Amino acid sequence: MEMTIRWFGSKSDSVTLEQIRQIPGVKGVITTLYDTSPGEVWAEADIRAMIDEVETAGLHVAGIESVNIHDAIKVGTPDREQYIDNYITTLERLGKAGIHMVCYNFMPVFDWTRTELARKRADGSTVLAYNQAAVDAIQPEKMFETIGGDSNGFVMPGWEPERMAHVKELFEMYRDVDEEKLFANLKYFLECIMPVCDQYDINMAIHPDDPAWSVFGLPRIIVNKENILRMMKMVDNPHNGVTFCSGSYGTNPENDLPDMIRSLKGRIHFAHVRNLKFNSPTDFEEAAHLSSDGSFDMYEIMKALYDIGFDGPIRPDHGRMIWGETAMPGYGLYDRALGAAYLNGLWEAIEKSQTR
């Protein structure tokens, strides 16, 4: 595996490349072009500039998170052809520039959903949290005010104001899309892009839906072992793979995370590893990465990744906000650096216990 950190670009991130470079064991960043909208073709010059900026700082771009999918593709409207062509052109340009991993998701309307961005924990740190009763009590369009209004002035990925201004229209677009339709549209999209992925050896890594169940009545399909294996089989190409995100699949305690990892040997192209603390089956908060701070056994998760021979980029995921830092919720420097160091430590111990 290769330890990486997500970076939101010099215009949007409070964390600098120089700081990332000083985290032990981190040589790669996961980034994207933040000025593009879903459906747009990425300009070659912009891709080059992004790579050059990262390389000038002594790091490299280990993958893209994300190249977002236009709603026309998810809904399956006639204009999806144009958007798929655009996506293929972007992949071709990324491949030519030496990028081999692209993360994306297939969630309708909302990306990840949380009900609090700064829940205070006993140690004074703040974390993102989710409470089902709070989601049930809120109108979908009000959700944006919760997420957008409490983010320390940062624009949260997936919750861009331009997008949320159209939330009612988006719901209307998805009115006739059920789970089967969403699966069919995902299959159609993947079959169209696999040739360019084969040509440039680009690993597509679908991010699970977060939380891993339907919210606001919208269909969600990338939620459990059964569905993800169905997706792997329906387009049975090694370039059709997954981002294994422990914090997203783990929102459903019925998901056995190490077992899921083992069932996806050869198809995990990217890993997000973090811990959650469940206060009840319908209320959880993000914890420190350390196993004992939350509900997951992080050793077993890393061991499963080791056992399947995982060699892609991995990153600590959302961190707590600690030590007085002001940053995008979940994406401060300090706790993610602690997470990277901890995951590197687990990996070294697992590796040495296997080979000595």
Would you tell me which residues interact with Mn ion (CB under 5 A)? 245, 272
Minimum CB–partner distance for residue 249 and Mn ion (Å): 9
Q: For residue 169, give Cα distances in angstroms to 71, 139, 165, 225.
A: 11, 14, 9, 32
Minimum CB–partner distance for residue 278 and Mn ion (Å): 17
Is 301 within 8 Å of 342 (Cβ atoms)?
no
50-54 long-range contacts (CB < 8 A, ≥24 apart) are 50/9, 51/97, 51/98, 51/99, 53/10, 53/17, 54/7, 54/17, 54/29
Angle between helices 334-355 and 298-307 (to 10 degrees): 50
- Side chain identity, residue 10: S
Q: Which is nearer to Mn ion, 190 or 242 (CB)?
A: 242
Q: Which is nearer to Mn ion, 245 or 305 (CB)?
A: 245
Task: Give the C-alpha separation, 143 to 102, whole Å.
Answer: 28
For the four alpha carbons of 231, 232, 234 and 240, in that order, the dihedral sign comes to: positive
Is 31 within 8 Å of 61 (Cβ atoms)?
yes
**In the structure encoding, which two tokens stand for residue 183, read together?**
């699966």
Q: For residue 347, give Cα distances in angstroms to 58, 267, 287, 329, 350.
A: 24, 20, 20, 27, 5
Radius of gyration of the chain (CA): 19
Minimum CB–partner distance for residue 353 and Mn ion (Å): 28
Minimum CB–partner distance for residue 277 and Mn ion (Å): 17
Q: Which is nearer to Mn ion, 54 or 128 (CB)?
A: 128
Q: Any idea which residues carry the catalytic annotation?
A: 207, 245, 272, 317-318, 331
Minimum CB–partner distance for residue 276 and Mn ion (Å): 11
Give the angle 131-136-137 at the CA atoms, nearest 5°: 100
Q: By beta-carbon distance, which residue lies closest to Mn ion?
A: 245
Minimum CB–partner distance for residue 301 and Mn ion (Å): 13
Task: Give the C-alpha separation, 29 to 21, whole Å.
Answer: 9
